[in-house]
Amino acid sequence: MIIAVSGKGGTGKTLVSSLLIKSLMGKGKDILAIDADPDSNLPEALGIHVDRSVGDVREELKKDTAEGNIPPEANKWDILDYKIMESLLETPEFDLMVMGRPEGSGCYCAVNNILRKIIDRLSANYDIIIIDTEAGLEHLSRRTTQNVDIILMVTDPSKRGILTAKRIEELSKNLDISFKRKYLILNRVKPGKEDELTREVNEIGLEVAGIIHEDEQVENYDRKGKALIELPDDSQAFKSISQIMEVILKKI
C-alpha cells in the first residue's frame, strides 16, 4: 500500500507522515518512508541524520559523467540505481529515502522521474510506503504520485489550506490520476470547531478521515527541535493519527 501525504506548506504534512510511521512501528510491517519534499523535514521529524539524498547522488553522477570518470558505454541508469540503493537509510523499524533538493535549474523533472522509478522498483519490497510530498500541487502535475493507493490531504482550518485540498482533489480528476481512496485530515483544530469544519469540507466533496486538535506537546517538540516520532503514545496528535490509520486500513 502506497500512501501520499499532501497539502499546502505548513499545514502539518510532515507531522502526519512521521506519526503514521510511528503508528505502524512494531506491527511487523516493512515500511519505507520517502521524503519527496525538497525542503526535507521528514528526517528531523524521524530523528534521523541523512548524509546523502537522491538529488546528491544524481549530481555526483552528472559530475562523474562530465569529468569522464564513467565510460560512455556504461548504463548510467544502472549506476544511478545502484547508488540510490546505497543512499537508502535502514533502521530496525523502517527505511528512509530522501529525494533532496537538486542543484541548478530544470532538475526537478529528472528527480521526479527518478522518484517514479523508485516507487515502481521498491513497491514490491515493502508492505507500506509513505511519501511526504512536496507542498502544493506540483507532485500531481509532475505525476510523481500517479501510482499511489491513498492520498491524505492535510489542511489546517484556514480557507487557503482547505482550498488547496480542494484543488488537489480537482487536479487529480483533471489529470485522470486514480487513487483508491482520498481523505482529508484536519490539523490544528480548536475544540468546538469540529462540526463546522467537517460540514465545510463535506460540502466541497471531501471525506474527512480524522481531526487532529491543537496539541501543546507538538508545539513544544517543534520549538525545541525534538523528533516528532518521539511524541508519547498518549499525545493527542498521535492518538488521532492512530485512529485515522485504523480507519484507512479497514477501508482498503
- Give CA–CA dist 143/175, Å, rounded: 9
Confirm whether 58 is domain-assigned.
no
Per-residue pLDDT at 176: 64
Confirm whether 79 is domain-assigned.
no
Report the domain count for the chain. Answer: 1
Confirm whether 81 is domain-assigned.
no
Per-residue pLDDT at 207: 87
- Give CA–CA dist 151/131, Å, rounded: 9
Per-residue pLDDT at 46: 97
CB 172 within 8 A of CB 140: yes
Confirm whether 83 is domain-assigned.
no
Collapsing DSSP to helix, strand or coil, 117 comes out as helix
CATH code for the domain in which residue 15 is found: 3.40.50.300
Query: Is 211 buried (19+), middle (13-18) or exposed (0-12) by CB count in 10 A?
Result: buried
Confirm whether 66 is domain-assigned.
no
Per-residue pLDDT at 56: 87
Range of the domain at 173: 2-48+90-251
Note the maximum CA span of the chain: 65
Per-residue pLDDT at 77: 79
Q: What is the pLDDT along the chain (252 residues), one digit of tens a residue?
A: 889 998 888 889 999 999 999 999 989 999 999 998 888 899 999 999 998 888 888 888 888 888 888 887 888 778 888 888 888 999 999 999 998 865 555 445 566 677 778 788 888 899 999 999 887 555 554 555 557 888 898 999 888 888 888 887 787 777 666 678 889 999 999 999 999 999 888 887 888 999 999 999 999 999 999 999 999 999 999 999 999 998 888 766
Closest by CA position to 128, among listed 233, 27, 46, 44: 27
Confirm whether 167 is domain-assigned.
yes
- Give CA–CA dist 148/145, Å, rounded: 5
Confirm whether 62 is domain-assigned.
no
Confirm whether 125 is domain-assigned.
yes
- Give CA–CA dist 19/23, Å, rounded: 6
Per-residue pLDDT at 84: 86
Residue 152, strand partner residues:
5, 183
Q: pTM value?
A: 0.87
Closest by CA position to 232, among listed 245, 244, 246, 221: 221
